[in-house]
Amino acid sequence: MAMMYRRVLLKLSGEALGENGRLFDHAQIDRVASVICELSRREAQIAVVIGAGNIWRGRQGPAANMNAVTADHMGMLGTTINALALADALENAGIDVRVMTGIDMPKIAEPYIRLRAIRHLEKGRVVIFACGTGNPYFSTDTAAALRAAEIDADVILLAKNIDGVYDDDPTKNPNAHKYDRLTPNDFLRQNLAAMDSTAASLSLDNDIPVLLFALKDPENIYKAIIGENVGTIVKTIDK
């Protein structure tokens, strides 16, 4: 089946790699890697931004009277650990992969350089971006929107623990309404919490659609790229 998007920025939460007290769920990592491999073999260009929620969340620091910048730096290191874990699974599946970091770690990964990242994608390599934006106070959702704009991605795929955008928390309100489609302005005006406002603004400013969906079934990544109706699409109105 034909792909709707060719160059994709996939945002994975740390919980996609491990949750419920497990640092890494290797079976789940392998399932995610398998879908990414299949898409790569079909000549989709896949870049990944990964979070660190299975290891550390920056907001935990201030709650423990820790300096916010220090806490965010710890989170960036956590994303690097996760990036290496996913890269290893992809390599074991026979896919060429590069990890690029927003903070220089030359003995571990390549430094992020925009044109080099694009060249890797053009050569069919999966590129994993670690360390978020490389700066504190910015979430990995914002990093996904920034990197997507920099590499001219066709879409941002936000793989979450929830199957789309709702007008309320569906885990607390069984009558919460799920949106199939929203404009970025609607998303911002209603102060919806599925991604942070900086990420939403960046996607709006650069006219990049964002598709939010559940990663519980990793096959949803494939379904999203071929244009099946999964999750919630946030994009400007088609002209």
Structural domain boundaries, residue 84: 7-234
**Inside any domain, residue 14:** yes
**Inside any domain, residue 98:** yes
Over residues 104-129, the mean pLDDT reads 97
Q: State how far the Cα of 77 lies from the Cα of 50, in Å rounded to an integer.
A: 11
The candidate with the shortest Cα–Cα distance to 125, out of 43, 50, 31, 29, is: 43
Residues 32-78: pLDDT tens digits?
999 999 999 989 999 999 999 889 877 777 777 899 999 999 999 99
Residue 20 banded pLDDT, cuts 50, 70, 90? low
More confident residue, 3 or 117: 117
Strands 165-166 and 178-179 come out as antiparallel
Over residues 103-107, the mean pLDDT reads 95
**Inside any domain, residue 71:** yes
The total number of structural domains in the chain stands at 1
Q: What is the pLDDT of residue 94?
A: 93
Residues 143-181: pLDDT tens digits?
999 999 999 999 999 988 788 899 888 888 889 988 999
Q: Is 150 left (phi over 0), alpha (psi -120 to 50) or beta?
A: alpha
pTM: 0.92
Q: What is the pLDDT of residue 14?
A: 87
> What is the residue type of 14?
G
**Inside any domain, residue 239:** no
**Inside any domain, residue 2:** no
Q: What angle do CA 238, 155, 118 make, to 5 degrees?
A: 130
Q: What is the pLDDT of residue 239?
A: 43
Q: What is the pLDDT of residue 185?
A: 82
Q: What is the pLDDT of residue 92?
A: 94
Tokens 């050569």 locate to 123
**Inside any domain, residue 164:** yes
Question: Is the pLDDT score of 1 beyond 70?
Answer: no
Over residues 100-104, the mean pLDDT reads 97
Structural tokens at position 55: 């290891």
**Cβ–Cβ under 8 Å, residues 53 and 81:** no
Residue 215 banded pLDDT, cuts 50, 70, 90? confident
Over residues 69-90, the mean pLDDT reads 95
The set of long-range contacts for 77-81, using a CB threshold of 8 Å and a minimum separation of 24, is 77/52, 77/131, 78/14, 78/52, 78/54, 79/14, 79/50, 79/51, 79/52, 79/130, 79/131, 79/132, 79/140, 80/105, 80/108, 80/109, 80/130, 80/131, 81/52, 81/55
On average, the pLDDT of the chain sits at 90
Q: State how far the Cα of 122 lies from the Cα of 112, in Å rounded to an integer.
A: 16
**Inside any domain, residue 62:** yes
> What is the residue type of 107?
K
Residues 180-212: pLDDT tens digits?
998 878 888 888 877 888 888 898 899 999 999
CATH number of the domain residue 114 falls in = 3.40.1160.10
**Inside any domain, residue 146:** yes
